[in-house]
Homo-oligomer: A and B are copies of this chain.
Amino acid sequence: MLVVSSALLTDGVRASLINDFPDQTFEFYRSIDEASDRYPYIEILITYGEDLTPFHIRQMSKLKWIMVISAGMDLMPFAEIKERNILVTNAKGIHKIPMAEYAISMFLHLYHKQPIFYENQKKQAWNRNILVNEITGKTMTIVGTGEIGQELARIAKAFQIKTIGVSRNGEPKDYFDEVYPVDELITTLKHADFIVSILPSTNETKYLFQLAHFKAMPSHSIFLNMGRGDVVSSDVLLSALNTNQIAHAVLDVFETEPLPKGHPFWTHEKVTMTPHKSSHSPMYIPRAITIFRENLKKYSKGSSNFINEIDIDRGY
């Protein structure tokens, strides 16, 4: 069967797939368009999930399985996929390690006053009168208790941090000391030193954090958003910072990306920002391909029970 990748894969990954699955024919392209002559013959497609249109699905008349090597499924032509009953799997779970590290790294960055020591080194200033802090024993509210939230909670527990989760239904999860349903969000914020949003963008999550939520947070607390930018409006967050409702915001995602030049976040002394990088890792593709390989073994044997099979009706 013909396996085509429209996602750029390294020579090492290509060679190992060819070597380990001799019964399959692999073809690697740099884009879906480059593979256009091959559309009618493709049985399995490896893609980042952002290049497929209904046209492609119709042209790929033999397509049986789409492996999306990311977690976002927003741009998939699900109607056509469902009609043909095409198997879709994704790489859900591969973001959890870098994102959990990102959040912990940022809280340590701020509590250990790394920006101050960084500037003092540049000034050759030996100043020991910097009040450093420790994250051990603090309280963290994690809004979103999926795989990423759980991984963050797991590492937080190693620092003896009290972990409070917020999810749709509030059901208990490993590594969370407590979990509450989202309609009790505001009560989970009152004793939080750290608040982390890992929410995707949906109708339910858009502008979930209102000024009242920031007013409920302790004035020394740090709000970190690495889910989607529209969970809070820029104006609300700026207002919360400027009226000292919270001490700091760490932002990896924004209502508009790239964040426009001149936006107040860039220069705000209470904002630390990164350009939507929290999920990046050199292990991203290797981990995605590991999932693909496991699924390809099952597929070749005609078995099912695939890792990360997508429910087409739900879209995740």
Question: A residues bordering B, Cβ < 8 Å?
Answer: 97-98, 101-102, 104-105, 108-109, 111-112, 114-115, 117-118, 120-121, 124, 126-128, 130-137, 154-155, 157-159, 257-259, 261-262, 266-267, 272-277, 280-283
Judging by beta carbons under 8 Å apart, are A101 and B159 in contact? Answer: yes
Can you name the residue of chain B whose Cβ is closest to the Cβ of A123? Answer: B266
A101-B110 Cα distance, complex, nearest whole Å: 12
A93 to chain B, nearest CB (A): 14
- Cβ-neighbour of A134 out of B111, B135, B257, B283 (below 8 A): B283
* Residues of chain B contacted by A126 (CB below 8 angstroms): 257-259, 275
Q: Which 8 A-B pairs have the closest CB atoms?
A: A158-B158, A105-B108, A126-B258, A124-B266, A126-B275, A105-B112, A117-B274, A128-B275
Judging by beta carbons under 8 Å apart, are A277 and B158 in contact? Answer: no
A193-B117 Cα distance, complex, nearest whole Å: 24
Can you name the residue of chain B whose Cβ is closest to the Cβ of A115? Answer: B118
* Residues of chain B contacted by A158 (CB below 8 angstroms): 154-155, 157-158
Contact sample, A vs B, 28 pairs, CB 8 Å cutoff: A97-B134, A97-B136, A98-B132, A98-B134, A101-B111, A101-B112, A101-B134, A101-B159, A105-B108, A105-B112, A105-B114, A108-B108, A108-B109, A117-B275, A118-B118, A121-B266, A124-B267, A126-B259, A128-B275, A128-B276, A130-B277, A131-B282, A132-B280, A132-B281, A133-B281, A134-B283, A136-B283, A137-B283
Judging by beta carbons under 8 Å apart, are A127 and B275 in contact? Answer: yes
Can you name the residue of chain B whose Cβ is closest to the Cβ of A262? Answer: B124
* Residues of chain B contacted by A133 (CB below 8 angstroms): 281-282
A133-B257 Cα distance, complex, nearest whole Å: 22
A29 to chain B, nearest CB (A): 22
A128 to chain B, nearest CB (A): 5
A131 to chain B, nearest CB (A): 7
A96 to chain B, nearest CB (A): 10
Judging by beta carbons under 8 Å apart, are A108 and B101 in contact? Answer: yes
A120-B126 Cα distance, complex, nearest whole Å: 25
* Residues of chain B contacted by A132 (CB below 8 angstroms): 98, 277, 280-281
Can you name the residue of chain B whose Cβ is closest to the Cβ of A273? Answer: B121
A190 to chain B, nearest CB (A): 22
Judging by beta carbons under 8 Å apart, are B282 and A117 in contact? Answer: no
* Residues of chain B contacted by A282 (CB below 8 angstroms): 131, 133-134
